Amino acid sequence: MNALLGVDRLSVVYKSGLPALQNVSFAMNAGEIIGIVGESGSGKSTLLRALLGMLPDGGQYAGGDIIFQGKSIFSLSQKEWGSIRGKRMAMVFQDSGSYLNPIRTVGSQYIEAIRTHVELSKKAAYAIAVDMLSQMGLDEPDRMMSMYPGQLSGGMKQRTAIAMAVTMEPELLLADEPTSALDVTTQVEVIKRLTSLRASQGTGMIIVTHNIAVAAHMADYIGVMKNGSLVEFGQTSSIITSPRHAYTRELLAAVPELEGNTDGI
């Protein structure tokens, strides 16, 4: 197995606050999907931001280590770190689609984003962008390239943002509630597209969701967070069938039809 990420007793504090992450440890191999679940304020977003080296203002590392592809991220120079971020490790947020620049066409910003990472002609970048948009299930990607974000639905914008995030074929995609702002049908579609990325590109993913059913549907391993700690981490099947922590049992009990139809997630 090819180790992708090791998180070793990672702690983060916010100024004048309680610890947001306390001694969080887990590891993942290339191409694995991890679902992180837990209630609001449990530290899920902080974990993703810490992994990407993008803690919000006031947040600071308070111990532990993050090993990405065999190297501590804390040992990297700013330059090395910059070349990993957005390229080898990328992130999408719940409302990533809304960060598209409203006064520029999808195509011009997509092409520019590609060309900040690799030296390519505009034409070559255009072809890559169109291919990624169609991989995310967007019809008429050529037409979309000449449209402005305001002309797209929320689901189309979010899929565009995900396409942009994975264009450089990152080994690790960090996704913070990537589907929760979407209607149910679009959620299912985006989840399918994310899982097919693993098949086509071997993308490893850490997906934060408040919905343990989504995690159960997608993830190989589930981590459960509570008050900044990872209280349980294990294979999805064992978390579902024999949760060890009372809090995990509570989360599972709150999902009435986990075993049945996942169309409604």
Ligand X SMILES: Nc1ncnc2c1ncn2[C@@H]1O[C@H](COP(=O)(O)OP(=O)(O)OP(=O)(O)O)[C@@H](O)[C@H]1O
Candidates 19, 23, 33, 31; CA nearest to 178 is 33
Take residue 14 and report the two structure tokens written for it.
Answer: 């916010």
Q: Which of 20, 34, 191, 194 binds ligand X (CB under 6 A)?
A: 20
Q: Please report where in the chains the tokens 């002609």 appear, as a residue.
A: 121
Answer yes or no whether residue 44 interacts with ligand X by CB under 6 A. yes
Q: Which of 31, 38, 149, 178 binds ligand X (CB under 6 A)?
A: 38
24, 10 in Cβ contact below 8 A? Answer: yes
52, 3 in Cβ contact below 8 A? Answer: no
Beta carbons within 8 Å of 253's beta carbon, 6+ residues apart: none
With contacts defined by CB under 6 A, name the span among 37-45, 74-82, 184-192, 254-262 that binds ligand X. 37-45
Q: Which of 11, 42, 209, 211 binds ligand X (CB under 6 A)?
A: 42
Site string for ligand X, 179-218 (x = CB under 6 A): -------------------------------x--------
Answer yes or no whether residue 56 interacts with ligand X by CB under 6 A. yes
| Distance separating alpha carbons of residues 56 and 74, to the nearest angstrom | 17
125, 85 in Cβ contact below 8 A? Answer: no
Answer yes or no whether residue 40 interacts with ligand X by CB under 6 A. yes
The CB-of-49 to ligand X minimum distance in angstroms stands at 8
Answer yes or no whether residue 82 interacts with ligand X by CB under 6 A. no
Please report, as ranges, the residues that interact with ligand X according to CB under 6 A.
14, 17, 20, 38, 40-46, 56, 58-59, 210
